[in-house]
């Protein structure tokens, strides 16, 4: 998988997904020179909300101290590993239409509270870490049609929805979950399930095709792209995608070795990690591609 380290929040129950989202948002706002009260839309991608409902967005709004100041809309989206690019497409459309001016886009996850740490769950448990990343998007004046968010395209194929899932809240059941800790079959529903081979094959295919399509539809070549940022699920997937799409190795950015798979957070987390390291710079053009359960996938080209 390429994973050497993972990060988990403390296990005492004091840290929620919205707390990670808050920390990432505060850093993004400071980096952008924008105050929280200037945000007029919040989009949060997560599969691990604080509670079943309401979503993380309203908790984040409150923790930012703007709930009673802006009444800004708060969207929670559930596209798992593809959520950040789905959210990027939404934010781009909102801004271009003039509906909102400043959008706070966040991917945040706490996986460690929902993993099976027994031998039964090791194939999935080893992949996931906790983390969050955020971006502030807004209009900018430029004569360059290749600046800003240049391209987004996302897609889904629901026929793959049962190859990576968690069955904990099944609305057909009453109650949602009946647990007997002595019955391993019954308590399995509370943990993620995955058909790894099917996910791997489809991820390589769709991420490769999405990458090729993004270049073809924009007319860009790899000479025009500074960095390739794939979703960080498995280093072998990313290496296979890079080989098939003929992506120069020096342009591929990875953080899975440090953080594991942080699902909705991987794209902004990877960009920020390498920005702090001095590798990614303001104005650099990124091509990002993602794949997640559902199945969902997509690609985007944008400047940092």
Which residues form the catalytic set?
Answer: 81, 231, 261
CA distance linking residue 65 with residue 36, whole number of Å: 8
Tokens of 47: 């599969």
CA distance linking residue 28 with residue 33, whole number of Å: 9
CA distance linking residue 276 with residue 190, whole number of Å: 37
Sign of CA dihedral 206, 289, 23, 57: negative
CA distance linking residue 151 with residue 159, whole number of Å: 26
Per DSSP, 223 falls in state: T
Q: Are 268 and 85 in contact (CB under 8 A)?
A: no
Sign of CA dihedral 275, 135, 237, 168: positive
CA distance linking residue 247 with residue 219, whole number of Å: 16
């Amino acid at each position: 998988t390429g994973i050497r380290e993972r990060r988990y929040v403390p296990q005492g129950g004091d840290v929620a997904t919205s707390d990670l989202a808050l920390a990432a948002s505060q850093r993004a706002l400071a980096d952008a020179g924008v105050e929280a009260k200037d945000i007029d839309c919040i989009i949060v991608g997560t599969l691990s909300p604080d509670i079943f409902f309401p979503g993380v967005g309203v908790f984040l709004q409150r923790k930012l101290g703007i709930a009673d100041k802006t009444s800004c809309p708060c969207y929670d989206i559930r596209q798992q590993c593809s959520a950040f690019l789905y959210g990027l497409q939404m934010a781009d459309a909102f801004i271009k239409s003039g509906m909102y001016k400043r959008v706070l886009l966040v991917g945040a996850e706490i996986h460690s509270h929902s993993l099976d740490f027994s031998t039964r769950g090791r194939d999935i448990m080893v992949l996931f870490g906790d983390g969050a990343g955020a971006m502030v998007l807004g209009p900018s004046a430029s004569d360059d049609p290749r600046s800003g968010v240049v391209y987004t395209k996302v897609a889904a194929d629901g026929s793959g929805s049962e190859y990576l899932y968690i069955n904990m809240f099944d609305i057909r059941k009453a109650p949602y979950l009946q647990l007997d800790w002595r019955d391993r079959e019954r308590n399995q529903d509370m943990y993620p399930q995955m058909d790894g081979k099917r996910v791997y094959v489809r991820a390589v295919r769709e991420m490769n095709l999405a990458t090729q399509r993004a270049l073809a539809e924009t007319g860009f070549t790899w000479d025009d792209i500074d960095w390739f940022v794939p979703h960080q699920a498995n280093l072998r997937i990313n290496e296979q995608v890079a080989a098939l799409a003929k992506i120069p190795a020096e342009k591929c950015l990875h953080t899975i070795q440090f953080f594991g798979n942080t699902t909705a957070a991987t794209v902004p987390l990877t960009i920020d990690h390498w920005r702090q390291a001095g590798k990614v710079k303001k104005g650099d053009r990124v091509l990002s591609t993602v794949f997640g359960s559902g199945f969902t996938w997509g690609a985007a080209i944008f400047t940092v």
